[in-house]
Structure 1
Amino acid sequence: MFDNSNQEKGVTVVDINKEMRDAYLQYSMSVIVGRALPDVRDGLKPVHRRILFAQHELSNTHDKPYKKSARVVGDVMGKYHPHGDAAIYETMVRMAQDFSMRYILTDGQGNFGSIDGDNAAASRYTEVRMTRLAEELLADIEKETVPFGPNYDDSLEIPTVLPAKYPNLLVNGSSGIAVGMATNIPPHNLGEVIDGVIHVINNPECTVDDLMGFVKGPDFPTAGVIAGREGIMQAYKKGRGVITLKAVAEIVQAKDREEIIVTELPYQVNKAKLIESIADLVRDKQVEGISDIRDESSREGMRIVIILKRGENASVILNRLYKYTQLQTSFGIIMLALDKRNQPVTFNLKNMLEAFVDHRRDVVTKRCIFELKKAQERAHILEGLKKALDNIDAVIATIKASKEANAAREALMAKFEFSERQAQAILEMRLQRLTGLERDKILAELAELMKQIDWLKMVLADVREIYKIIVDELQDIRKRYADTRRTEITGDMTDIEDEDLIADESMVVTITNTGYIKRIPVEEYRVQKRGGKGLKGMETKEEDYVNNIFTATTKTMLLVFTDKGKVYWCKVHKLPLGNRTSKGKAIANVVQLSNNEKVRAILPIDQFEENKYIVMLTERGIIKKTSLDAYSNPRTAGVIALTTDLDDAIIDCKISDGASDIFVATKEGMSIRFNEADVRPMGRTARGVKGMTLAKEDIVVGMEVFEKGSKDTILMVTQSGYGKRSELEEYRIQSRGGVGIITQKTTDKVGLVVGTRKVKATQEVILSTDKGQNIRMKVSDISVLGRNTQGVRLINLGEKEEMVTSLAVVDDEEVAGEEVH
C-alpha cells in the first residue's frame, strides 16, 4: 500500500518497476545514440566526429604543422566531449594506426603503438594533424550542409553529422557494443566502395548480387586472406554473416629443414600474443615438430619465422596452426548503424550505399542552395555598383549633398532605387573602383555570377544534376585516394583435415607389448633372403617386444580395439613417424584410452563400404560379426565393440563380405575353418557366439577371412622363427564351435604358434623378435608344406633373442621396383 501522507509532504510516489524500466531505457538509448553506434551517413561515432571537428576548428589540417595530441584532446574534452581524456586519446590513437584503420584519419607523429599490442606514448609526447582524406569528411561544413546542435553545456554548436564526401562507414568500418545490440562492420577498399555507390546512383534497381561485382568483400589493413564467399554474401544480403580470415604463410626450404614464413595476419590479431600462443602449443605438445620461432618483423613488413624439426611435414604443421591459433580467425559481420532518424537499423549492402547517396544528395542540395544564396547576394551588390558607375556623377553629387552617411544612403535609395545593401556598398566603394580596369572587373564578375546562378538554379531544379555532381566528386576522391586491394578472397572455405595435406604413402605400423606405436616408411625394410638374421628394429625395454605389425597408407583409418572390448579411431598419419630403431610413442598419447586398457587389435580401414562386416575373435574363441557401418562415426571417447568376459579379450579383427570362410589358429597349433554364414550379424555391444572349442591352456593367436575361390595360402609362424605355407584345401570345412584339426606341429624346437596370415606368392612378410630385430622376405621364398608339419627356419634368432613376437604382410604393389638384397 502507498502512503498517501507522503504526497501531502511534497514527496512523489512512483512505481519502482516503471521507474527502473524508464530509466534503463533512457540510459540504453543514450549509449546507443551517443556512444556505441556509428551514423550510417558519415560512418562516425560522436567521439570520432568531435575529434575531427575540433581539429577543423583548430585549422589542424594536413598542410599545417602538427599540434600536440594533448592540445587536441583538451579541446575535444573541454568543448564537445565531456568524458575522460584517456578515452578520447585512445580513440585518436586508433585513428592514426595503419594496422587498425584501412585509411587513417589522423596523421600521427611519435609512438602510436604497434601490432604487438604496445601502448602509444602519452599524449604530451605525440603530435597529430588531420589527413587529407579526413578533411574530405569535413569539406563544405561551413556551407550550412549539415545540421548543428548544442554541445553538452549549450555554449557551442557542434555538427550532428559530417558532410562526408565518401562512404566512410564501409571504407573504415566500425565496431561497438551498445545495450542489447552490437555493430561490427569490416573495412573495405575505397575504390571498390565508390564504384558500388556510383552503380547504385546510375542503376537504382540494382541488386546486392550486382553490387558484389564492384564491392568484392572486406579489405583489411593487415591484408590476410578471406576464405570463402558465403559469409560475405550473407552479410551483404542480410546484414549479418561470418567470414573466416587466414594469415598469409609460405613454406620455404632451408638448409636441412622446412620453415613457415608468416607475412600477413588476420585483422586485429596481436602478433606478440600469437607467437606466445604458438610457443604454448609447442610446450604442451599440442603441436609437435616446431623447433624455434623468430619474430623478424621490421619497417619493411611482417615476418614471423617458424622453424621446423628435420623431417617434419610443414603443410600439416601449418594446417594445425591454422586450426589451433589465431593464424585463422572468424570475423562476425553485423552491419548495424544509426539511420538519419537516429534509429538503430541493420543494413544490407545496398541499403547502406543508398543511405550514403541520400545523405550526399541532401548535402549537395544544401550546398547549392547556400552557394546560390551567396551568389545572388553578391550579384545584387555588383548590379548596384554597375548602376552606380553608369551614373557616377549624379551618385557623387548626391553623396556630397548629404550631411551624413545615413542621409546619403537614404538619398541614394530614394533617387536611384538602390536597396539598402546596394546603397551601403556604394558608400563603402573605394575611389579606385572608378578606373576603367576596375569597372571591367565588376562587369566580368557579374557576368560570371549570373552564369553560376543560372547553373545552380538548373541543378536545383533537376535531381539528376545533383547526382552528376555526386558522381564527379566520388570519381575525384577515387582518383586521388584509392589504392589496390590488400585482402585476398579465395574460394569456399572447407574444413581441411590433416590427411588432405599428406601424401598417400605406404607405412609399416608397429605396436609393442607395452603399447608403444610408430609408423615407418615401408622402404626402410629392405628385402632379405629367408633364414637371414634380419635388421635392427625398434629399441625396446627388456620386458617389451613388438607384438603387432601391419602395413597401411598414411590416410588409412585405424580402428583400435582394446582388451576391454572398446574401439577407438585414429588416422595413420597422426601416429609418430619413426625409423627402424626408434621407440615410438605410447599409444595412450595418440588414442584417448581409458584406465588400464591395452590395445589388442588394430584394423586398417580405407573406407566404410556397404555390405561389409567386422569379424571379431577373442582369446577364448568367442566370435562376433557386426556391420562395418556401425563404426563409421568416430568418437573421441571410443565405443563398445564387444562385450567380453572378465577372463577374455579381443585377439583379432578382420573385414569380411558376409559370405567368406573363417580360419582360426591357436597357440598350440590347432585350427578350424567354417562358413561365415554360421555367424549371424549382431549389434555393436553384443557378446558373440562360440567360434572354436579350445583346450584348457590353449588360446587363439590369429584369424583370417578367405573369400570364396581364394587361392591364398596360409602362413604359420612359430616363436623360434620357423614357418611354412599350407594350401587352404588341406583344411576341411567344419561346423562352428568344434575343436578343429592340427595346423602346425609345436615342439620344443619350433616353439608355439605366434600368428597366422593368408598370403600370396607375390607378397612379402616382415617378422619381428622380442629384441626389436626385423626381417623382411619374399613369401615365395617360404616353402609350401603339409598341414601337419613343423616348417622351415625363417629367421635366425640372436644370442639374446628368445622368440619371434609378430608378423606382417606387405602387399606386392607396395614394394614394386624395389631392389632385392
Structure 2
Amino acid sequence: MSSDVPDVDPEDVRAAQVTNARIEDEMEQSYIDYAMSVIAGRALPDVRDGLKPVHRRILYAMHEAGVTSRSPHRKSSSVVGETMGDYHPHGDSAIYDTLARMAQDFSMRYPLIDGQGNFGSIDGDPPAAMRYTEARMAPIAEELLADIERDTVDFQPNYDDRLEEPAVLPSAIPNLLVNGSSGIAVGMSTNIPPHNLGEVIDATVELIETPDATVEDLMDHVKGPDFPTGANIVGRNAVHKAYKTGRGRVRVRAEFEVDEEEGRIVITELPFQQNKSRLVERIAEDVTEGAIEGIRDLRDESDRDGIRVVIDLKRDAMAEVVKNQLLESHLERTFGVINLALVDGAPRVLDLKETLEHYVEHRRDVVRRRSEHELEEREDRAHILEGRLKALENVDSVVETIQDSADRDAAKAALEADYEFSEAQAEHIVRMQLGSLTSMETQEIESEYADVTARIERLETILGDPDELDQVIVDELEAIKDEYDDERRTSFIEDSGSVTHEDLIPEEECVVVMSEDDYIKRMSLEAFRAQNRGGKGIIGTDLKEGDSVSSVFIANSHDYLLAITNRGQIYQLKTYEIPEMSRTARGKSAVNLLDLDDGEEIQAVVDCDRVGEDVDEERYLTMVTRDGYIKRTSVEAFENIRSTGIRAIRLEDGDELVDVEETDGDADLVIGTADGMAIRFDEDEVRAMGRSARGVRGIDLEAGDRVAGLAAVDPDRHNWVLTVTENGYGKRSDVSEYRVQSRNGKGLIDIKTGSRNGSVVAIEAVTHGDHLLAMSADGQIMRTRVEDVSTVGRNTMGVIVMDLETTDEVSCLDIVPAAIATDDGTNGTSDPNETESETPETDATAADVTEAGVAGPDTEDE
C-alpha cells in the first residue's frame, strides 16, 4: 500500500540545517576563542602558583608517579610520556623543553627539577635528547604540591575526561615572583623577573601583618629582581616604576673588573638570558670590524665554578674607553618587566602589592580548606575512638553481645540498639581483635584520643579566627625561608655608564649649615682655617631676623645625607644637592629640597658615607631623644627612602629627636645632658628595633634636665670625650673617666654647668688630629684643634673654646675627622688671660649620689 506522505528531498533537509553567518563575524569569534585558549591554557602563568599549565602538569605527573626529591632519578622520556599521555597532549618537544628549563640553574632562580645529565648551557647549547637525561623533583618543587591530597585546591577533568588534574597548585611559596615567568600569548605577553625568596617572603609577611602596607613599604623588603646569573641592576628608578605600575625597563649590566696594571678586563657575571658564547663572538666581530679598538686578545676561561671571559688590552689602549665601548654594545641588556598574570582566568597587569595580595588570598583558601579537611578526618577519628573507649568500659557485656549474635550484621545491630553506638562505631568494634582489649591498648587509645581532641580544638581555633589562620601562613612561610633562603646574587649599582650631573660636581669637603627656620646651604671647608681656641671665629651665615643656627656638620659633596625631622620622618639627599653659597649668604629653604610638611623641621642629619666608609659589618642608626629614649635601627631599613620620607622613629607627644650617630654594634654610647650629666653603656644594651619603634630608656633624667647629645665611643679609636657648653666653654676628658654602666641610670657628672658655662650643647668622641667646628646661634663659625682644648677631669668647668658676644651662644658643633683636617695654619688668637678652671671631685657622699649609675626601671616600647 502506498503512503500518502510525500517523499522528502535529502538536499532540502541538509539546507535546513545550514545557518547563514557573516564571514567577518565568524572569523572574529573564532579568533577570540583561539586567543583566549592560548592566553588561559598555554602562555600565561596563574597569579596563585606562578605556573603555566605545562609546568603544573609536569610537576603533578611527577607527583602522581612518585618521582619526588627522595626517589631515584627517572628517565626524562618517561616523565614526558606520562605528562603527554595523561595531561598535556601538545607534543613531547614542548613538554621536554619546559622540563629542561625548570632544571637549568641559569634560567630558574630556584630550579624546580633536579636534573641529571646534559640539560643545556648558558652558551646556548641545547639539552641532550630526553632518552639520555634523567630528572626528579627538586625539594622546593614539593612545596608547591604540599597538601594537594587534602582537598586544598579544585580539580578539573583532563583533556579526555579520563583523569582529573589540579586547576592550580597549593603553592606554599610565592612562586610567581620567586621564579618569574615569560610567555607570548595572542596580543599580549608577560615577562616577570625572578626574585630572592627571602625578600619576597618578608614582603608577604609584611602584607599579612599590615594589610594597608603600600607598594613602597613592600619595597623595603623586595629590593629588586634577583637573577640566577647575578650581574648588576643599573639604578633603582626603573625597578620602582615596575613595582608600582607592573611595567618597567630594567637595565642589567655584567659584572666585570678592569685591571689596568695587567691591562685586562675580566667578565665574571652576565645579564639574565644572555648567551655567553654569542657574546664572545659578537665582541670578536666588533674587534675585527674596527668597531671596538684596543683589544689584543679575547678568550673564554669559564668552567664549572663560574663564568670568566678575559679581554686582554693592547699596551697603549685606554681601559676606560674600551670599557665604555663594551658597555654600550655588549655588557648591558634591558629586561622589560611586564607583570601580567591570570587572575580568576583573565589576564591582568599587577603591581607588587596586588601580586602578593592574590597569593595571600590563595594561601588563605588553601589553609582553610586543608584545616576543614583535617578537622573532618579528626572528628571521624575521635568518633571512632569514643566508641572504642565506650566499648572498653563495657568490655564484658560487649563481648558477650557479640558472641550471642548470629552473625556480624546481627552483632552490629545489637550494639547499636543496646549501647547506642553509631553504625561506624559498631562496624569498627565488631572488627576489633581481642589483642586490642589489653590495658596497654586502652592507654594508647586514651592518649590518642587526647591528642585528637587537642588537634580538633586547634583546628577550630584556626577556622574561627582569621588572625590565627594568618599566623599559620606566616609560620609556614618563615619555615620555608629558613629552609631555602640564600643571599642575593644581583646587586645594584649607580648609573655610571654616561656622564651625569654628579660627575660634574668636584669632590670636596663641605660645611653644611642649617637654621631653625630650615634655611640650608653648603660651603667649602677650606673657607674655615683653624684658629687657636678662644677666638671669635668668622661669619658663617646671614640670618634673617628672629632666626638662629640649628646645626652644622661636615660632609663630602658626593655623600648621601639622611635628614631626620621633629616628626620622626627620615629623608635622603646628596650633599651636592644643597646649594653652594658664600659665608654671608642666608641659604635656601629646605622645603625646596625635601618634601616637608607644614611644621616639620629637620632635627638631625647623618652622613652615612662618612661613617660607614670601608666597613663591611652591619651598621645602625642610633637615635636619642630629648626625654632620654634611645633606639637603634639597621641602616638597611633606610635603603629605599621615598621622596616623601619614611618613618625613622616614633616620638611621644612633647618629645623630639636630639642626636643621631651611625654605629657598628661594637661601640660604647655616651649620652650627655644639658645639666652636665653623662652615662656610658654598651651599645648591645639597646637591641636593634624596627623603624616605627619608640626605643628604650637610655638615661634617667633629673627633673628639668634634658638630653643634649650622643657620642659613639670606640675605645680603640677615640681618646677623649669632648663636651662644649652654650657659653663657649668646653673640655676634653679621657674616655676611661667614663666608666661603663647599665643604661637608664643617673649617670656621672660630666662637666660643671651654671651661670658661667651655661647648659651643655653637645658631646663628641674625638681623637688625635681632629678639629672642632663650632657655630653660634648668630652665625659665627670657629674651627680649632681639639687638642687645643685642655684635658681635664670630668667634674670640672673647662676652658673657653669660643669667644662669644654677650647675647650670643654656641648653637651646635661637629668634628672634622683627622683624615681630612689637614689645615695646619692659624687664623685668630686665643685669650692669653684664659686659665684652666678645675674643681676637685666632690666628697665621697656626693660622688656616691652622682655616680651611682644604678639602672632604673626598664621601660621599653616597640
What is the TM-score of this pair, normalised by structure 1? 0.59
Find the counterpart in structure 1 of residue 368 from structure 2.
365
- CA distance, structure 1, for counterparts of residue 239 and residue 12 of structure 2: 63
* Residues 1:301 and 2:298 are matched in the alignment: no
* Residues 1:448 and 2:451 are matched in the alignment: yes
Summarize the alignment of residues 609-648 of structure 1 with structure 2, pairs less than 5 Å apart.
none
* Residues 1:380 and 2:387 are matched in the alignment: no
* Residues 1:15 and 2:19 are matched in the alignment: no
Q: Which amino acid aligns with 1:171?
A: V
Q: Which amino acid aligns with 2:285?
A: D
* Residues 1:258 and 2:263 are matched in the alignment: yes
Q: How far 1:6 sits from its partner (Å)?
A: 8.8
Is this contact kept in 1: 2:224–2:239, CA < 8 A? yes
Find the counterpart in structure 2 of residue 320 from structure 1.
325
SS at match of 1:244: strand
Summarize the alignment of residues 498-517 of structure 1 with structure 2, pairs less than 5 Å apart.
none
Find the counterpart in structure 1 of residue 284 from structure 2.
279
Listed one character per residue, the Cα deviations across residues 270-318 of structure 1 (whole Å, up to 9, x for unaligned) are 0000000101111111111111110000011100001111110112101
1:288 to 282, 286, 293: 293
Are residues 495 and 7 of structure 1, via their aligned partners in 2, closer, same or farther at CA, if it must alter by over 3 Å?
A: farther
Q: How far 1:492 sits from its partner (Å)?
A: 4.6
Is this contact kept in 2: 1:228–1:493, CA < 8 A? no
Find the counterpart in structure 2 of residue 232 from structure 1.
239
* Residues 1:243 and 2:250 are matched in the alignment: yes
Q: How far 1:16 sits from its partner (Å)?
A: 1.1
- CA distance, structure 2, for counterparts of residue 145 and residue 264 of structure 1: 41
Is this contact kept in 1: 2:327–2:497, CA < 8 A? no
SS at match of 1:142: coil
Find the counterpart in structure 1 of residue 110 from structure 2.
103
Structure 2: give runs of 5+ residues left out of the alignment: 1-10, 507-862
- CA distance, structure 2, for counterparts of residue 7 and residue 53 of structure 1: 46
Find the counterpart in structure 1 of residue 728 from structure 2.
none
Q: Which amino acid aligns with 2:378?
A: A
2:357 to 351, 354, 358: 354
Find the counterpart in structure 1 of residue 91 from structure 2.
84
Find the counterpart in structure 1 of residue 207 from structure 2.
200
Is this contact kept in 1: 2:260–2:319, CA < 8 A? no
Summarize the alignment of residues 706-717 of structure 1 with structure 2, pairs less than 5 Å apart.
none
- CA distance, structure 1, for counterparts of residue 13 and residue 397 of structure 2: 83
Q: Which amino acid aligns with 1:489?
A: F
For structure 1, which segment, 404-413 or 98-107, has the greater mean C-alpha deviation from structure 2 after superposition?
Answer: 404-413
1:39 to 22, 34, 46: 46
2:126 to 113, 119, 123: 119
Moved over 6 A (4+): 4-7
Is this contact kept in 2: 1:28–1:179, CA < 8 A? yes
Q: How far 1:267 sits from its partner (Å)?
A: 0.2
SS at match of 2:149: helix
- CA distance, structure 2, for counterparts of residue 283 and residue 425 of structure 1: 85
1:408 to 404, 407, 411: 411
Q: How far 1:494 sits from its partner (Å)?
A: 5.8
- CA distance, structure 2, for counterparts of residue 312 and residue 37 of structure 1: 48
Identity %: 55
SS at match of 2:19: coil
Are residues 148 and 409 of structure 1, via their aligned partners in 2, closer, same or farther at CA, if it must alter by over 3 Å?
A: same
Is this contact kept in 2: 1:229–1:492, CA < 8 A? no
Q: How far 1:97 sits from its partner (Å)?
A: 0.3
Q: How far 1:58 sits from its partner (Å)?
A: 1.1
Larger Rg: 1
2:345 to 334, 342, 346: 342
Listed one character per residue, the Cα deviations across residues 737-791 of structure 1 (whole Å, up to 9, x for unaligned) are xxxxxxxxxxxxxxxxxxxxxxxxxxxxxxxxxxxxxxxxxxxxxxxxxxxxxxx
Q: Which amino acid aligns with 1:440?
A: Q
Are residues 253 and 495 of structure 1, via their aligned partners in 2, closer, same or farther at CA, if it must alter by over 3 Å?
A: closer
Q: How far 1:324 sits from its partner (Å)?
A: 1.3
- CA distance, structure 2, for counterparts of residue 431 and residue 231 of structure 1: 73
* Residues 1:155 and 2:159 are matched in the alignment: no
Find the counterpart in structure 1 of residue 790 from structure 2.
none
Find the counterpart in structure 2 of residue 680 from structure 1.
none
Listed one character per residue, the Cα deviations across residues 549-584 of structure 1 (whole Å, up to 9, x for unaligned) are xxxxxxxxxxxxxxxxxxxxxxxxxxxxxxxxxxxx
- CA distance, structure 2, for counterparts of residue 140 and residue 37 of structure 1: 24
- CA distance, structure 1, for counterparts of residue 221 and residue 503 of structure 2: 34
Q: How far 1:253 sits from its partner (Å)?
A: 4.1
Is this contact kept in 1: 2:116–2:133, CA < 8 A? yes
Is this contact kept in 2: 1:225–1:487, CA < 8 A? yes
* Residues 1:419 and 2:426 are matched in the alignment: no
Are residues 300 and 494 of structure 1, via their aligned partners in 2, closer, same or farther at CA, if it must alter by over 3 Å?
A: closer
SS at match of 2:132: coil
SS at match of 2:56: helix
- CA distance, structure 1, for counterparts of residue 319 and residue 126 of structure 2: 34
Is this contact kept in 2: 1:80–1:151, CA < 8 A? yes
Is this contact kept in 2: 1:61–1:135, CA < 8 A? yes
Q: Which amino acid aligns with 1:369?
A: E
Find the counterpart in structure 2 of residue 332 from structure 1.
336
Q: Which amino acid aligns with 2:455?
A: Q
Q: How far 1:146 sits from its partner (Å)?
A: 0.3
SS at match of 1:141: coil
Is this contact kept in 1: 2:324–2:497, CA < 8 A? no
- CA distance, structure 1, for counterparts of residue 25 and residue 13 of structure 2: 19
- CA distance, structure 1, for counterparts of residue 326 and residue 298 of structure 2: 13
Is this contact kept in 1: 2:242–2:351, CA < 8 A? yes
Q: How far 1:373 sits from its partner (Å)?
A: 0.3
Q: Which amino acid aligns with 1:90?
A: D
SS at match of 2:427: helix
Q: Which amino acid aligns with 2:356?
A: L
Find the counterpart in structure 2 of residue 464 from structure 1.
467
Find the counterpart in structure 1 of residue 230 from structure 2.
223
- CA distance, structure 1, for counterparts of residue 234 and residue 176 of structure 2: 23
Q: Which amino acid aligns with 1:32?
A: I
Q: How far 1:474 sits from its partner (Å)?
A: 0.4
- CA distance, structure 2, for counterparts of residue 23 and residue 406 of structure 1: 61
Q: How far 1:13 sits from its partner (Å)?
A: 1.8
Q: Which amino acid aligns with 1:13?
A: N
Find the counterpart in structure 2 of residue 136 from structure 1.
143
Q: How far 1:491 sits from its partner (Å)?
A: 2.9
Q: Which amino acid aligns with 1:48?
A: H
The number of residues matched between the two structures is 495
- CA distance, structure 2, for counterparts of residue 258 and residue 39 of structure 1: 50
Is this contact kept in 1: 2:76–2:135, CA < 8 A? yes
Find the counterpart in structure 2 of residue 604 from structure 1.
none
Q: How far 1:7 sits from its partner (Å)?
A: 7.1
- CA distance, structure 2, for counterparts of residue 491 and residue 287 of structure 1: 24
- CA distance, structure 2, for counterparts of residue 8 and residue 328 of structure 1: 64
What is the TM-score of this pair, normalised by structure 2? 0.56
SS at match of 1:241: strand
- CA distance, structure 2, for counterparts of residue 358 and residue 271 of structure 1: 41
Q: How far 1:415 sits from its partner (Å)?
A: 1.0
Q: How far 1:251 sits from its partner (Å)?
A: 1.1
Find the counterpart in structure 1 of residue 31 from structure 2.
24
Find the counterpart in structure 2 of residue 439 from structure 1.
442
- CA distance, structure 1, for counterparts of residue 26 and residue 13 of structure 2: 18
Q: Which amino acid aligns with 1:384?
A: G
- CA distance, structure 2, for counterparts of residue 383 and residue 184 of structure 1: 56
Q: How far 1:10 sits from its partner (Å)?
A: 2.5
Is this contact kept in 2: 1:230–1:492, CA < 8 A? no
Listed one character per residue, the Cα deviations across residues 383-432 of structure 1 (whole Å, up to 9, x for unaligned) are 00111111111111111111111111111111111111100100111111
Find the counterpart in structure 2 of residue 269 from structure 1.
274
Is this contact kept in 2: 1:7–1:13, CA < 8 A? no
Listed one character per residue, the Cα deviations across residues 328-353 of structure 1 (whole Å, up to 9, x for unaligned) are 000000000001x1111111000101
Is this contact kept in 2: 1:291–1:308, CA < 8 A? yes
2:480 to 469, 477, 480: 477
Structure 1: give runs of 5+ residues left out of the alignment: 504-821
